[in-house]
Amino acid sequence: MCGIIAYAGTKGAKDMLIDGLEALEYRGYDSSGFYIAKEGSVKSVGRVANLREKAVKAKQGSTGIAHTRWATHGVPSEVNAHPHMGSQKRAYVVHNGIVENYQELKEGLKKSGVIFKSETDTEVIPQLIESYIEKGFDFHQAFLKTLGDIRGTYGLAVMDAFDNEKIYVARMGSPLIIGIADHGRFVASDNSPLARHAHSVVYLNDGDVAIITGNEHEIFSQKGERVLRGEEKMSADVARAEKGEYKHFMEKEIMEGARVVENAIRGRIEIDDGTVKLGGLESVADRLREIDRIIIVGCGTAYYAGLVGEYIIEEYAGVSVEVEIASEFRYRKPVLTPRTALLAVSQSGETADTLEAIREAKRKGILTLGIVNVVGSSIARETDAGIYNHAGPEIGVASTKAFISQVTVLALFAVFLGRQRSMSLVTGRRIGQELMLLPQKIESILSKRDELKKIALAYKDVRDMLVIGRKYNMPIAYEGALKVKEVSYIHAEGYGAGEMKHGPLAMIDEHFPTVAIAPKDSVYEKNISNIQEIRARKGKIFTIATEGDSVIGEVSNDVFYIPHTIEALTPILSVVPLQLFAYYIADAKGLDVDKPKNLAKSVTVE
């Protein structure tokens, strides 16, 4: 979940590294640091801005490595911040991942007299490299020997203090990309810091080792065999995001909701035929016709998007769907058949648990599919086929526009599968037409955001909150509660409204408000009954309802109205006010909305 940037070239390395860290800061922001050849290392606790200020007098140099940290082993501190160096001050390392056997390695090194300074697992890496150098190996050989000793996941950028030009790189389970610019070479955890500089990129695979200089790169296997990886043109989708007129990225990304849907459906809906065209699935279209069961895997927000997908795929495509938390999938024994497909949902395309679920499914020989937002990401490359969201960069840690795009793509996927089976032309056309109307309906919600802000201010000081919904909107209750927790630190619990009498009602009183999602759909009357149960216990109610509903105001303290759409697509509209509600509460409390405490954007370690 940390961010790595390295640079070798003709421009000032310090500026390249600090700028890169700022672009990567959403991956981790409790400490940061860099090492520049001949100039030494600078570290700082907190945001990258602190590092920039501390390093104002540091010299530029031409080659260096840098890191922004999300703590796993060891508290945030300068001692635990990267880069880490060995006792001989020869090897400097930045690392994303976890060395699972670090305790064992550390004890062995300590017995040989090595003194450790940090609490991190990473420090064993430079210490191991230096121990092999003392045994007579050159730096490259020592690096390879060290890779053979460590178990776990890693994206590594390493420098030798005796060599001012080379950066040694290795990947195993944690993404690394080589960026090629006119003025040098970069190495980064993702595309975001490369957008301003690189014209092309090279994606490293697990097991790859590379040596980078300012004008070339060589890639090897860990056995030392030369490996060829093709260059790819830098995608326009990764242009560096800016907040512009908005106070936070989260606000900006919520406000992009309409455009996100437009991008997700552009060129994909074929109204005349009542179907959709998904180019990324063409190669497996025949196999998909034979599928009778889909397992959707995801983590956090992506998991909740998958739950919405379960409803719509089963209703409109007639295919059985199960949704699994990706982190649990490979630790049980799922029953998989040749007619099962696994569908992975991930914004970053690098989520460690989701990647491992894909690899487990591939070991079992089943079809693997992906819905990802980042072109060239690991999930995009490791699945058999997939669909890109085209949502553009999402910087805020709390996912908003990515969720909307994921649900939109799942709706397209349901039509694709349904038209392969028994879905009628009329039904396909109706879903397509409603999808095309969603952007203007989202815009109508966003135009009333001042109403939501006023409502949010009335709830900003509560300690606890319940969010309820039914059927298609039960996953939205989970997602809405997650957003409130993530950015405002209010204890919010998402629940199926039908489960109120099975426990949650015990918590309700005048100090425990409920947000109810109650659009005019097939379970509307059931939702009204649940709201009445809460009112009878003096619970305060904020309801998200359908425009034209003249009843809901009589049973709610506050109401926000959304436009009508077909039931299956209601989640794409109902989630928008919940996102804004969470945002306005957090902003009113003066919290760092884009960088919530203890969280990072891309979870690349288990």
14 a catalytic residue? no
Which two structure tokens, joined as six digits, stand for 309?
């997908």
Which two structure tokens, joined as six digits, stand for 357?
């679920």
- Residue 514's SS3 state is strand
To the nearest 10 degrees (0 to 180), the angle between helices 425-446 and 570-588 is 20
Please give the Cα distance from 373 to 463 (Å, whole number).
Answer: 34
Catalytic residue among 401, 540, 595, 601: 601
2 a catalytic residue? yes
CB 367 within 8 A of CB 384: yes
CB 184 within 8 A of CB 7: yes
Nearest to 369 by CA among 283, 304, 437: 283
As beta bridge partners, residue 465 has 492
Please give the Cα distance from 212 to 122 (Å, whole number).
Answer: 21
**Residue 274 falls in which region: left (phi positive, over 0), alpha (psi -120 to 50) or beta:** left
β-pairing, 367-372 vs 91-99, is unpaired
As beta bridge partners, residue 276 has 269
**Any residues with CB less than 8 A from the CB of 473 and at least 6 apart, and which?**
517, 519, 521, 570, 571, 574
Catalytic residue among 2, 14, 299, 483: 2
Amino acid of residue 594: D
As beta bridge partners, residue 494 has 467
Please give the Cα distance from 42 to 58 (Å, whole number).
Answer: 8
Burial of 573 (0-12, 13-18, 19+ CB in 10 A): buried
Output phi, psi for 543, to 5 deg.
-115, 140
Please give the Cα distance from 577 to 442 (Å, whole number).
Answer: 10
Cα 592-80-22 angle, rounded to 5 deg: 40
Q: Which residues are catalytic?
A: 2, 601
